[in-house]
């Protein structure tokens, strides 16, 4: 047993050394633009990253960027999956914060990106609280925010709560607050950003090509290829781009809806989502 454990520790140590060597020799990414996709969990950030990554001038990280660097705290590691506003103090960064090692983050991300592309894309819902910091430290940073109906988002966050952290999923009132507060931070911080584009999940589902071409203009890129007939593997689904709001909303009880209205009604109104009685 001791020998087996020694070999495991040795392999881990060698793996860490090899990773450090790779980071050290990795060239620093220098794209025309860094693009950050932000928004609440379950709002379509994964779908949007997948769609934008289909552009021939774009390279998008294959998973959430905060999982690929050791410089940011992970919501899952802290026992608050899909609930970063519960520890806002550990996730929030502005231009006034010194923050983590910028060069290391860029190199860690660069190991998973095609650096020959003009535009490099990262998406992580917790980075919604760090947009002002990214603008300060990433050259020509552009931000694409996506919002989605709060009833559908709250239902999804509650349903997908990690059973390792919370057995029966998140209470609907906490999920509603995660949606409301993260969008509040995103919209308020957007007033400090030079390049910010906002879109709605519902509009993306209704007209993927139209919304993507708006993004292309925002990023000064040629139009996107037509993806209307393509399927995408997004979490547990493999399907074309569809609005899944009604499916989620139908799972809510009257009590759930009342709690969402009480806790997140101010953001439903701000984003012009019609309240359900």
Calculate mean pLDDT across residues 32-36.
98
Q: Answer yes or no: is 103 within a domain.
A: yes
**What CA–CA distance (Å, rounded) separates 111 from 29?**
9
Q: Answer yes or no: is 8 within a domain.
A: no
Q: Answer yes or no: is 97 within a domain.
A: yes
**What CA–CA distance (Å, rounded) separates 183 from 129?**
9
- DSSP, residue by residue, 111-148: TTS-TTSSEEEEE-GGGGGGHHHHHHHSTTEEEEEEE-
Look up the CATH number of the domain holding residue 257: 3.40.50.300
Assessment of whether the complete model's pTM goes beyond 0.85: yes
- pLDDT value of position 128: 98
Q: Answer yes or no: is 63 within a domain.
A: yes
* Number of structural domains the chain divides into: 1
**Sequence-ordered alpha helix ranges (H) in the chain:** 2-25, 45-52, 88-91, 102-110, 131-137, 150-159, 172-190, 201-206, 208-218, 245-249, 254-270
Residue numbers of the domain that contains 73: 30-270
> Phi and psi at residue 21, in whole multiples of 5°?
-65, -45
- pLDDT value of position 230: 66
Q: Answer yes or no: is 19 within a domain.
A: no
Q: Answer yes or no: is 148 within a domain.
A: yes
Q: Answer yes or no: is 262 within a domain.
A: yes
Give residue-wise pLDDT tens across range 8-30. Answer: 657 777 767 777 777 777 789 99
Residue 188 has pLDDT above 90, yes or no: yes
Q: Answer yes or no: is 11 within a domain.
A: no
């Amino acid at each position: 047993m001791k020998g087996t454990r020694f070999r495991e520790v040795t392999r881990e140590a060698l793996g860490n050394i090899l990773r450090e060597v790779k980071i050290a020799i990795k060239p620093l990414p220098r794209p025309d633009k860094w693009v950050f996709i932000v928004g609440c969990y379950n709002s379509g950030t994964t779908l949007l990253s997948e769609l934008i990554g289909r552009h021939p001038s774009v390279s998008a990280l294959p998973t959430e960027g905060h999982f690929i660097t050791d410089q940011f705290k992970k919501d899952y590691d802290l026992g608050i999956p899909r609930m970063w506003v519960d520890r806002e103090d550990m996730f929030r960064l502005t231009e006034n914060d010194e923050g983590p090692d910028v060069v290391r983050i860029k190199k860690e991300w660069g190991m998973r990106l095609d650096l020959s592309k003009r535009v490099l894309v990262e998406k992580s819902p917790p980075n919604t609280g760090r947009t002002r910091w990214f603008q300060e430290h990433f050259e020509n940073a552009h931000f694409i925010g996506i919002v989605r109906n709060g009833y559908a988002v709250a239902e999804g966050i509650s349903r997908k709560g990690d059973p390792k952290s919370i057995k029966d999923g998140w209470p609907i009132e906490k999920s509603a607050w995660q949606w409301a507060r993260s969008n509040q931070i995103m919209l308020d911080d957007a007033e400090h950003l030079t390049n910010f584009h906002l879109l709605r999940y519902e509009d993306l589902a209704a007209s993927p090509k139209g919304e993507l071409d708006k993004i292309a203009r925002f990023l000064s890129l040629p139009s996107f290829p037509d993806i209307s007939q393509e399927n995408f593997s997004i979490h547990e689904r493999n399907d074309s781009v569809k609005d899944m709001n009604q499916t989620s909303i139908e799972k809510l009880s009257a009590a759930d809806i009342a709690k969402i209205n009480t806790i997140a009604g101010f953001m439903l109104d701000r984003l012009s989502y019609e309240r359900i009685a």
